[in-house]
Structure 1
Amino acid sequence: MPGLGKTTLAKKVYHDVNKQNHFDVQAMCCVSQAYDRRKLLLDILNQVKSSNQQNEKNPADALRKFLIRKRYLLYIDDIWSVDNWDDLRGCFPDDDNGSRILLTSRLSDVASEINPDREPLHLRFLFENESWELMKIKLFKEQTCPPDLSKVGENIARKCQGLPLLVILVAGVLSGISQNEESWRKIAESINLDSVTSAKECLDVIELSYKHLPDSLKPCLLYFASFREDEEISFSKLAWLWTIEGFVPTTEAKSVELVAESLLNDLIGRSLIMVSKKRSVGGVRTCHIHDMLHDFCVTKAKEEKFMQLTTNGKVDLSSSFYENRKLCIHHSLYWAGRIGNLQARSAFFRPPKSGCQEFFDLENFKLLRVLQMECPVSDRSLQRSKELIHLKYLGIKGYLEFMPSWISNLSNLEVLLVITVGSGTTLPIAIWDMPRLKHVHVVPVASFDGRIPRKSTNICCIETLATVSLTNKLADYIIKKANRLRKLKCHCKEPLKLRLDALQLETLGVNGKILKFSLPETLTKLTLSDVLLPQSDMSKIGRLPNLVVLKLEHRAFQQGKWDVEDEEFPTLKVLKLRSLKITTWNASSESLPNLELLLVESCFHLQEIPSIIGEIPTLKMIEVKRCGESLENSVKQIQDEQESYGNEELKVLIFPLDSST
C-alpha cells in the first residue's frame, strides 16, 4: 500500500547518526517501475566514491570492486520485481563484515521472495489518536490546536483512515484555508472514505487538495507530470521551465527566481511536493513528488487537456494528440516525428532505454518553445532542430560531442541545458552573440569551438554559465562580453589569470590552477578546487564583504598551513574543507564571527580544528567525515568545552576514517 511511510521510515534509519558511524560508505537510490540498471549503478558508484562520473564503461564491475572489503550501507527504495533485485545483487559483495542493504517495496510478495529467510517489516495504519497527533504537528508545529478546532479536527483525522499520506495531504488543505470551525467542517464533509485498501481510494483526497489550490499553483503542480516517476528535479531547471511556460508572474519587488521559489515553497507547505536536497544556506536544491501524486498529475493533466502523455505510440496517439499544447512522449520517437503536432508548444521526448539513436522529424513541431530530448539523437534529427525559431528552452540528455553552429540562429533561446555521457560537449563561440540566451548549463563540461572575436558589439544576456573549460583568452573574452553574468563554474584548461572584479558575480566555482585573480565584492558563494593559492590570496578572499559560503577542496592551498587573520570572513556562514593537503589551520578570535556550519571531510593531514572555532556564538554544527584521529579529538575537545560552559546547542557529528575497527 503506498503512503504508509515506508520511504520516510527507511530514510530515518539511513540517516541515523549512530548507524552512519558504523559504515565506511553509504548510498541511496530509487528503482521505481522505470528500471534503468546503468543509471542506478552509476548513481550508487558516484555516491560511495564522492564523484560525478557519467562515462564509466562498466559501472557494475567498478562498483563491486570498490565495495570489496568495505562495510557499506545501501538503501534501495521502491523495488518492483525480484528480477530487478537479481540483476543488481551481484554488484554488492558479501564479505560478512557487517554491511547492510535496506530495501523498500509496496509489493509484499516481492519483499518476501528477495529474502525468504527474514520476514519483511509490514507497516500498519495509524490509530485515530496517532492520525490526529500527526495532523496537529503538520498544522501547528510546536503550538497547540485552538480548542474550537479540536473536535472537528479529530473527525477529519479519523476520516483519513490511518494512512499517513492522506493525513499530511489533508493537513496541507487545512493550512491553506481559514482557521475556523465552519471552514474545517466543510472539509470534513467533503471526505467520504469508508476504508483505504488501494491507491484508488486516495485519489478523492488528492483531488480535494488540488481543488483547494490557488489557480496560479495548479499548472505548477500538473507540470510535474512531465518528469519521470521518482525523478529528483533541480529547482533551477524547474524555475526556468515554469518561467518560460508563463507560470511565474513578473513583479518589480522580486526576481523571477524568488517568485518561482515562493510557488514551490507553497506546494511544499501543502505537502504536495517533497524536498530532496537543501542548499547550504537554506532553500531547495532538488525536489520530488510522491508516486501517488505523480499518478494523479498524469491523469489530471490528460483530463484537463493540460498535457498529453503517451506511452506506447499507436494506441495513445489519438485525436487528442493534436489538441494539446504540451506533450510528453515515453516511447519510440518514430511515431511522434511521423505524425507531428503543429499545435504543440512544449515537448518532452523520453523514449525507453535503447542502444540505438532515435530519429524523429521535427518538421511538424515548428511552434515549440520548450524541447527536452532524453536519448541519443541522430545528426539528422538534430539538424531539424534549427527550424524551431520559437524555441526558448532546449534540453538534451544523451551523447553529444559537438553542438552544431546553427544553435546560434535560435534567436529566442533563453535556456540551453546539455547533459552528456561523454567527456564533454563543444559549443560554438557564436552563442555569446545570442540576444536572449540567459542560462547555459553543460554536464560534465563545455569547451568552445571557433576563433575568439576581437570585437563584438552584440549584447550578451548570459547570467548562468556552468561548467566551462577556460583558457586565458576565453576568460578575458567572457569578462569583457558577459557583464550580466551572475553564476560561473569553470575548469582551468591552463593556469589562469582571472580578473573578475568588473563582473557582478554572486556564485563562482573554479577547478584548476590560478596564477592571479581579483574577485567582485558581490560574491556570496565560492568553491575552489586545485587552485594552489598562496596565503596572501586566501586573505584577499577573507576580506570579501558578502561571502556566505566557502568550499575549499583538494589542493586549494600552495602551503601546508592556513592562517585566518583578524576580521577575515565577516559574513561567512558555511565553510566546507574537503580533501585538503594542509596540516595546520590557525584562526584569530576576531575572524569568522557569523559562522554557522563547519564541514571537514577527508582532510587526512589536518591535525586539529582551531579551538577558537567553538567560541563563535553563531556556530550550530561541526561535521567531520573520514579525517584523522587527532582532528577528531580536537573536535571532541571543542564539544566538551562548550558543554562545560552550558552550550548544549552545538551539534557535533563525527564519521571516523575507519569505522570497521
Structure 2
Amino acid sequence: MEDIDAVKEELVKIKDEYVLQGTPDVLPISEADSSQPASESHNKMIGRNKEFEIIKEMLIQHPSKKLEIVSIKGMGGIGKTTLAKQIYEDSSITSYFDKQAWVVASQHHSKRQMLLDLLGSKDDADKSSDEDLSLRLYQSLKRQRYLVVMDDVWSVEAWDALKTCFPDDGNGSRVLLTTRFPEVANHTSSRSKDDFSHEMQFLKQSESWQLFYEKACKSRSAEFKTIGRPVVEKCKGLPLAIIVIAGLFSKLNTLDEWENTANALSSSSAATLDDEECSRILSLSYNHLPHNLKACFLYLGVFPEDHKIKANNLARLWLAEGLVKAFENESFDAVANRIRAKDCSNEYITNIPCLKNVHIRGKGREINACIANLAYLEQLERLCISGGGETHIPIINDIVLLKNLRKLTLYPMRFVWEEINILSKLPRLEMLKLLWTLNAGKEWEIQEEVIFCQLIALVIHGCVLKQWKASSHNFPKLKHLVLWNCFELREIPIDFAEISTLKSIKISRCLPSAVESAKKIQDEQRDYGNYNMVVVEKETRDANSASGVGVVDECKLKFLELKSKRNYRYIVFKIDEASQAVVVEKLGSHEETHIQFSNSMPPNECRYAVYDYDFTTDENCQKSKIFFVAWAPETAPIRSKMVYASSKDRFRRELDGVQVELQATDPSEMSLDTFKGRAY
C-alpha cells in the first residue's frame, strides 16, 4: 500500500496550486520583518507572465505615490495566492519596498490573529489589547515604503478591521489583497476599479495542457497523451483542478487505469466550471486514495483553516490515532521515517536508518553523543542542530560522514571557522545555515583546496566575523548568499564576482563597506553578462557602530553627571528594540543601596550598568571607582546575549572614565564582595 507521504505530497501540490518547481531553495525575504508567505521555493508559473507584469506595474511603476490597495480577484483555485507569492518574492519588489509583511485572513477572520501575524508576535496574546497591537503595527509601518499582502480575504469586515493600521505617507506604499469576491475588491478600491484591481483569467487550453503534461505525461507514450487531452479540457483552465487531476494520473501506470479514470471524469455534461463541478473533479483524487489514506486525509479537518501543519507533528498524530499502524506491508522503519526522532541513542538510531530529517536540541555531552550516532543514518538529508550556545560540535569526526546530507543548520553553536571548511567534504551539501555562531573567530580563510562543490545557498546570521578570505573556486555553484547581523564584516570576497551561478546577495544590518563590496560584485557580474544577479540591502549600519546598535546622547550625559557630580549611585542601560540604540532605563539615586542595584537587573534579560563604588583602603583613605557591569543571565535569549556582547565594547568606549569591568551571569558575580575584590 502506498506510503502516507503520498497524501503529504498531494496536499503540498494543492496548497501551492499550479506551480512548477524551479530552483530548489529560496531564502526568506526578510527575517526581521513579520509574517512571510508559506513558500520555500522559487517557482515558475505557467500562463501568468502577463498578469505578473500587470500586478507588478500597479505596485512599483504606477505614478501614484498615495497608499493604494491593489486587489487580485478570481474563483478559488485559479492561482491568486501563487501569483501573489511570486510577486512578493520577486527581486524588483523586495528591493523597492523597505518593509514587507504577509497575512492570511481566511473565511473566519480574527483581527487579533491578523495583527499578531503581521507583527510577527507569538507571545503577546495576553499582554496587549487589540488597540495596542494596531498602534504597534501602524508605528512599525510609519515612514516606511511598505508592501503588505492580505491573502484570501472573504469579507469587507476583514479589510475594515485592519485598514486604519496602514499609514499613507505619500511614498508609494501598497497593500496587495487577494479575494474571490468582487464586492470585496470594489470596497477596498478608492479609485476606478480598473486602476488597481485585476481579475485572474482561466488558463488557455495550450497552457492547461502544458501544466498537465509537466506533471503527468513527461515520460508517457502518445497513447497516454491522447487520453489526457480530453481530461484537461474538462478542467476548463482551472489550475487547481489540473494540478489535482495530474497528480492522480501520475500515479496510474496502465492505459486501462487512465481510461477508467478519464471516463469517470467525462460522465458529467457540465459546460461551465462552477463550484459543484470543481468539487466533483477534486473528489476524483480523493476517491482514488486507499481506504487508510482517506482517513489520514480527513484527519486534517481537525486543524483550523489556513493553519500551518508541521509534517512531523502530523505524522505522530496519525501514528497515535492508529491510522499509520493499520497500513499493510509497512515496516517499523517506514513509520519511524515519518516521525521526529525522540531519542538519539545508539540503539534507537540503528533501528531507524531510513530517517531523512532530524532536528537535535540539547547541550554539552548529550548533544555531542547524539551527533556521534548520526553516522548510522546513511539516508539523512536534512540536519538541524540547536546547541543552546554552549556546545562545541564535533564536525570533523561525525557530521562529515553523512554523505547524503543536503541541508545543514547550526544554531547557536561554538566552533572555529577551520571546522566549517571541513564541511566541504559533504559531497551533496546544498544549503548551509550558520545562525548566531559563538567564538568562531574574526577571520574565516578558505584554502584553495576547500571546495563546497554543490552548495547553492549560504546563510550567515549573527557572528563576529571580520575578515573573510575566499574565492569563487571555493563556491562554484553558489546561487544565494545571505548575511544578517554580521556587524563587523568589512567586505564580501570580491572574487565572488566570478561565480557564474550567483543570483542574489541579501545583506542586512551590516557595515556600509560590506554593502559596497556586494554592489561591486553585482557590477562585475553585469560586466560578465549576468544582469539577473541582485543585491538586496536592508538596515545598513553606521561604520562607527559595528554591532549595528547606536547610543543615545542621554546615556553619555547621565554618565558624566555620575562621574563628575556624583548625582547617581548607579545607572542601568538597555538596548531599545524599536530604535536599536542603548538608552537609559533607570537612574539610582546616591542614597540607594547595592541590594537595590542588584534587584534592578532583570532575571531573564541582558543589561548594561555603571556603579559608583565607594570603599576605604587599608591606609584608611576614602576612594571610589566606577564599575561597568555587563549583565547576561543564563536564562536570557541567545539572540539578546549575542547583541549585547557584540555591542559592549562600542558602548563602553562612549563612557570615558570607567575603571573596572564586570561580566555577570548571576547576582553573586556582582556582589559587594566581588566589587571589593576588584576595586583594590
Q: Which TM-score tier does this pair reach, normalised by the shorter chain?
A: 0.5 to 0.7
SS at match of 2:176: strand
Structure 1 residue 29: Cα displacement: 1.7
Residue 3 of structure 1 is matched in structure 2 by 77
- Whether contact under 8 Å (2:472, 2:497) holds in the other structure is no
Q: 1:635 to 1:155 in 2, by over 3 A?
A: same
Equivalence for 1:385:
none
2:107 is the counterpart of 1:33: yes
- In structure 2, the CA distance between the partners of 1:83 and 1:612, relative to structure 1 (3 Å rule), is same
CA distance in 1 between counterparts of 2:473 and 2:179 reads 53
Higher RCO, Cα 8 Å, sep 6+? 2
Say whether 1:80 aligns with 2:154.
yes
Deviation of 1:641 (Å): 5.4
Which whole-Å CA distance do the structure 1 matches of 2:162 and 2:387 have between them?
A: 36
Shift of 1:247: 3.9
For 1:236-274, what per-residue CA distance to the aligned partner results, in whole angstroms no more than 9, with x for missing partners? 21222233334445856955354x49xxxxxxxxxxxxx
Structure 1 residue 147, shift from structure 2 partner: 3.8
Counterpart in the other structure of 2:231: 156
Report how far residue 54 of structure 1 moved.
Answer: 4.8
Given the alignment, which residue of 587, 593, 604 partners 2:470? 587
* SS at 1:21 equivalent: helix
Residues 1:241 and 2:317 aligned together? yes
Query: Compared with structure 1, are the counterparts of its residues 188 and 125 closer, same or farther at alpha carbon in structure 2 (3 Å cutoff)?
Result: farther
Deviates more, 1:247-256 or 1:71-80: 247-256
Q: Distance in 1 between matches of 2:211 and 2:358?
A: 42
- Note the C-alpha offset of 1:69: 0.8
With over 3 angstroms needed to count, the CA separation of the structure-2 counterparts of 1:182 and 1:201, relative to structure 1, is: closer
2:361 to 489, 493, 497: 489
Partner of 2:535: 654
Q: Which residue of 2 aligns with 1:172?
A: 247
Shift of the alpha carbon at 1:65? 1.5
Give the secondary structure class of the aligned counterpart of 2:179.
Answer: coil
Measured after TM superposition, the shift of residue 155 of structure 1 is 1.9
Which amino acid is 1:97 matched to?
A: N
Do 2:471 and 2:495's aligned partners in 1 also have CA atoms closer than 8 Å? yes
The residue that corresponds to 2:368 in the other structure is: 500
Matches within 5 A, 1:295-306: none
Structure 1 residue aligned with 2:211? 134
Say yes or no: does 1:578 pair with 2:461: yes
Q: What is the match of residue 417 of structure 2? A: 538
Structure 1 stretches of 5 or more lacking a match? 262-414, 416-436, 441-458, 464-484
Q: How many angstroms does 1:651 deviate by? A: 6.6
Aligned equivalents of 1:80, 1:486: Cα separation in 2: 38
Counting only pairs closer than 5 Å after superposition, residues 571-650 of structure 1 correspond to structure 2 as 573=455, 574-587=457-470, 591=474, 597-603=480-486, 605-613=488-496, 621-626=503-508, 627=510, 630-635=513-518, 637-638=520-521
- C-alpha distance in 2 between matches for 1:225 and 1:623: 41
Give the structure 1 partner of residue 625 of structure 2: none
Deviations 1:90-141 (A, max 9, x none): 2222212111111111122122112253423222333444433332233346
- CA gap 1:556/1:160 in 2 versus in 1, 3 angstroms: same
CA distance change for structure 1 residues 111 and 622 in 2, over 3 Å: closer, same or farther? closer
Aligned pairs (5 A) from 1:161-200: 161-178=236-253, 180=255, 183-184=258-259, 186-191=261-266, 192-196=268-272, 198-200=274-276
Worse-matched range after superposition: 521-530 or 70-79: 521-530
1:167, 1:60 → 2: CA distance?
40
Counterpart contact for 2:465–2:489, Cα < 8 Å: yes
- Aligned AA (2:230): N
| Matches of 2:135 and 2:93, distance apart in 1 | 27
Residue 598 of structure 1, CA deviation: 3.0
Contact kept in structure 1, 2:385 and 2:411, CA below 8 Å: no
**Matches of 1:182 and 1:559, distance apart in 2:** 61
Q: Say whether 1:438 aligns with 2:342.
A: yes
- Higher helix proportion: 2
Query: What does 1:54-93 align with in structure 2 at a 5 Å threshold?
Result: 54=124, 57=128, 58-93=132-167
The match for 1:374 is none
Q: Look up the SS of the partner of 1:30 in the other structure.
A: strand
Q: 1:53 to 1:607 in 2, by over 3 A?
A: farther
Distance 1:527 1:2, change over 3 A: closer
What is the Cα deviation at residue 77 of structure 1? 0.8
Q: Residues of 2 paired with 1:208 and 1:504: CA distance?
A: 45
Structure 1 contact 522–546 (Cα < 8 Å) conserved: no
Letter in 1 for 2:433: K
- For the 8 Å contact 1:35–1:84, the answer to whether it is kept is yes
Could you say which residue in structure 2 is the equivalent of 1:21?
A: 95
Distance 1:146 1:517, change over 3 A: closer
Secondary structure of residue in 2 paired with 1:508: strand
2:209 counterpart letter in structure 1: W
**Residue pair 1:577, 1:599 contacting (<8 A) in 2 also:** yes
User: In structure 2, what residue type is equivalent to 1:609?
Assistant: I
**Could you say what secondary structure the match of 1:575 adopts?**
strand
Check conservation: 2:97, 2:145, Cα contact below 8 A.
yes
Residue of structure 2 in register with 1:298 after alignment: none
Q: TM-score, normalised by structure 1?
A: 0.55
CA distance in 1, matches of 2:367, 2:225: 62
CA contact (8 A) 2:507 2:515 kept: no
The 2-side partners of 1:539 and 1:27 are apart by: 38
Give me the CA root mean square deviation: 4.1
Question: 2: distance between equivalents of 1:151 and 1:554?
Answer: 56
Q: 1:115 aligns with which of 185, 189, 201?
A: 189
Once residues 567 and 252 of structure 1 are traced to their aligned partners in structure 2, the CA distance between those partners, rounded to angstroms, is 43
In structure 2, the CA distance between the partners of 1:542 and 1:157, relative to structure 1 (3 Å rule), is same
- Asked if the contact 1:489/1:510 (under 8 Å) is kept, the reply is yes
Mean Cα displacement is larger for which, 150-159 or 164-173? 150-159
CA displacement at 1:596 relative to structure 2 = 6.2
Which structure 2 residues correspond to residues 366-385 of structure 1 after superposition, within 5 A?
Answer: none
Q: Relative to structure 1, is the Cα distance of residues 585 and 520 closer, same or farther in structure 2, using a 3 angstrom cutoff?
A: closer
Alignment partners' CA distance in 2, 1:155 and 1:497: 62
Per-residue deviation, residues 615-658 of structure 1 (Å, max 9, x unmatched): 678x6654314355543453455466567778x6x973421236
In the other structure, the counterpart of 1:97 is 171
Map of 1:509 onto structure 2: 386
Aligned in 2, Cα 1:231/1:579: closer, same or farther, shift over 3 Å? same
Instruction: Report the alpha carbon displacement of residue 76 of structure 1 after superposing the two structures with TM.
Output: 0.7
Residues in 1 aligned to 2:216 and 2:313: alpha-carbon distance in whole angstroms? 30
Give the distance between the partners of 1:138 and 1:518, measured in 2 at CA. 42
Equivalent position of 1:228 in the other structure: 304
Partner-residue secondary structure (3-state), 1:577: strand
Q: Deviations over 1:484-535 (max 9, x none)?
A: x963335x8xxx7887256435531234466x6656844466655566x57x
| 1:586 to partner: Cα distance | 1.4
Structure 2 contact 209–229 (Cα < 8 Å) conserved: yes
Change (3 A) 1:252 1:21: same
Instruction: Work out whether residues 78 and 240 of structure 2, in 8 Å CA contact, stay in contact via their aligned partners in 1.
Output: yes
- Find the partner of 1:213 among 285, 289, 309: 289
Equivalent residue letter for 1:187: A
Partners of 1:557 and 1:582 within 8 A in 2: no
Partner SS for 1:217: helix
**Counterpart of 1:228 in 2: which secondary structure?**
coil
The alpha-carbon deviation at position 566 of structure 1 amounts to 5.7
